[in-house]
Amino acid sequence: MKTSSPFAIFTAILVSLFTSSCEEVIEYSPYQNIVPKKWKNQNISNYNALLPAANEVFEPFKVALIADTHTYYDEFEKQVKFINSFTDIDFVIHLGDVTLSANSREFEWYSDIMNKLNVPVITIIGNHDCLGNGYSIYTDMFGESNFYFEYRDVKFVIFDDIIWEKHIADPDFTWFNNALKNDGSYKHVIPFAHIAPWDDQFSMGNELYYNYILEENHISLSVHGHDHHYKWKQPYGEVNYMTVPSPDKQELIILDIHAEAVQVERLNY
Amino acid sequence: MESILRHVADRAILIGMLLLHAFFAESQEQLNKAVRRGDAVSDAPVTNAANHEKEHNDKDRLWYIPSQYKLQYAGGIGFMSAGFGYEVSPTYQPVLFVGYLSESFGGSQNRVLSVSVKNSFYLSRQPLLKYFRPYAGLSINWGNTNNTFRSLPEYYPDEYYFQNKVHSAPFVGGELYVNLKPNKQIKGMGVYAELSALDAYLLEAIRTQYVKPHMALTLALGLTVYIN
């Protein structure tokens, strides 16, 4: 039939689109919060992947730190390759800002690249990840934004300190203070939060209070992202503050954790 | 309470769109009656019945009466969206869409109400191979959901973020058009499919190697009813 050929071609294109990459090519909205099943609660599944080693007695181990991958996808892939070249890194912590505008596909692209790492990744929330419906996409994709976990007698406290984008005045310092408590069973307690307390998002009261909580709990190191550059400083006295560079800086930060001290390695690649 | 409000809002949007349609239909009906009565609606001289019919089709439509209605699935502006459009010229036919997405309507935990102006340009005056009408254009999509903004609240430093409420999306598509000329109300119907690329995704497809061009694309499927 003369008229059937364009119809057939058109239908064939549609059918092939649908069958080949339906999930990829269908988007109801860039603000949609529809997390594919395989990418739900990844902080929980990734922590579970650390078991049973996580519960074993202390022996020195290494953790790689990355941050602010935003849409530096190519640089992030390079970083993933570099981390995969090591065999002595137990896991990776991403210090937040996995997206630029918290659009649905940005979260998926992050998950896609992050899952190419050979070791599990714990992902912290960043301020960019709270735009649009980002906060609820994050909680669906990774889990609660305030949490802590133990790995070989070291306590990793992950603190959500996003303020402006969540339209709040203060982060949950009560939770943070309780989470930092060391009942004596931990060799170290290390807090990780996307924004360092000297940033504009912190009021002066919150800035000093953050450091006060750390001093009260005898914390010696606080780790952050957000700045895109490596920094190591003691702006309030005793406590060391470190910021982790974004992947475009081509520098990897590794925490080398020993019983008596936590050392920082800076590796350029 | 919140779920009741959401339910009411969901229904209100649908009812609103139906009312709008009813308003258009009523206005057109009154115009049609006026034409049947022989009231002077058009200044053009009426020579014969065929011409009169043509005049009625092309000029007697009140300016705000749409010439087409659309129902669309996906395409980045809602799980489903409904729109009405105008035949500004045979090639330029803009359509205004209102789209909706929620947990019960598309499976997103957060609700999104989208308003989109789709500037469609038909690439051929007559359907190719009798039925196929290719088109392309640019959509301007306004997204209303949590934490979207045109200008930033005061406490942010200048240019801290790009605005994230309005996005543009170029698109190409094709419509299978069936002429229903003998029908009094409906001139024709079309089924269309189109691929659009959200500006934010397109930028990454251009800027990075990781994001391949097809990863920026979004498919929309829809139905058009062209009104006489």
Assign residue A132 the CATH number of its domain.
3.60.21.10
In a domain, A16, yes or no: no
Q: How confident is the model at residue B58 (pLDDT cuts 50, 70, 90)?
A: low
Domain that holds residue A54: 30-268
Say whether pLDDT at A110 is over 70. yes
Q: How confident is the model over B128-147, as a mean pLDDT?
A: 94
pLDDT tens profile A182-214: 999 999 999 999 999 999 999 999 999 999 999
In angstroms, what separates the C-alpha of B174 from chain A's closest C-alpha?
8
pLDDT on residue A88? 97
Q: How confident is the model at residue B53 (pLDDT cuts 50, 70, 90)?
A: very low
Say whether pLDDT at B23 is over 80. no
Percent of chain A scored above 90 by pLDDT? 91
Q: How confident is the model at residue B185 (pLDDT cuts 50, 70, 90)?
A: confident
Separation in Å, CA B171 to CA B90, B162, B167, B223: 19, 22, 13, 16
Q: Check whether the bond before B213 is cis (ω within 30° of 0).
A: no
Higher pLDDT, A56 or B154: A56
pLDDT tens profile B168-180: 999 999 999 998 8
Say whether pLDDT at B55 is over 50. no
Give me A18's structure tokens: 């649908």
Chain B's closest residue to A70, CA to CA, is B204
In a domain, A184, yes or no: yes
Note whether A156 and A122 are within 8 A (CB): yes
Question: Are the Cβ atoms of A131 and B215 closer than 8 angstroms?
Answer: no
In a domain, A40, yes or no: yes
Question: Are the Cβ atoms of B131 and A6 closer than 8 angstroms?
Answer: yes
Say whether pLDDT at A58 is over 60. yes
**Chain B residues 18-57 with CB within 8 Å of chain A:** none
Percent of chain A scored above 70 by pLDDT? 91
Q: Which residue among B114, B148, B215 sits closest to A132, beta carbon to beta carbon?
A: B148
On chain B, the residues whose CB falls within 8 A of the CB of A136 are: 109-110, 146
Separation in Å, CA B162 to CA A200, B111, B148, B152, B217: 18, 22, 10, 9, 21
pLDDT on residue B228? 82
Say whether pLDDT at B26 is over 90. no
Q: How far apart are CA B187 and CA B184, in angstroms?
A: 7
pLDDT on residue B96? 98
Q: How confident is the model over B200-227, as a mean pLDDT?
A: 96
β-strand partners of B186: B227
In angstroms, what separates the C-alpha of B172 from chain A's closest C-alpha?
13
ipTM at complex level = 0.90
Nearest alpha carbon to residue B126 among B68, B92, B177: B177
A140 CB within 8 Å of a chain B CB: yes
In a domain, A250, yes or no: yes
Q: How confident is the model at residue B56 (pLDDT cuts 50, 70, 90)?
A: very low
Chain A's closest residue to B196, CA to CA, is A25
In a domain, A6, yes or no: no
pLDDT on residue A1? 41
Please state which of the four CATH numbers 3.40.50.450, 2.20.28.120, 3.40.50.10470, 2.40.160.20 is assigned to the domain occupying B66-227: 2.40.160.20
Say whether pLDDT at B50 is over 70. no
Q: Which segments of chain B belong to CATH 2.40.160.20?
A: 66-227
Chain B's closest residue to A35, CA to CA, is B108
Q: Which of the residues B80, B110, B135, B142 would you substitute to probe the A interface, choosing the one with the greatest number of A C-beta atoms within 10 Å?
A: B110
In a domain, A20, yes or no: no
Separation in Å, CA B111 to CA A39, A51, A133, B83: 21, 37, 9, 19
Q: Which residue among A26, A71, A74 sits closest to B219, beta carbon to beta carbon?
A: A26
Q: Which residue among A25, A33, A109 sits closest to B108, beta carbon to beta carbon?
A: A33
Q: How many CB pairs under 8 A join A and B?
A: 139
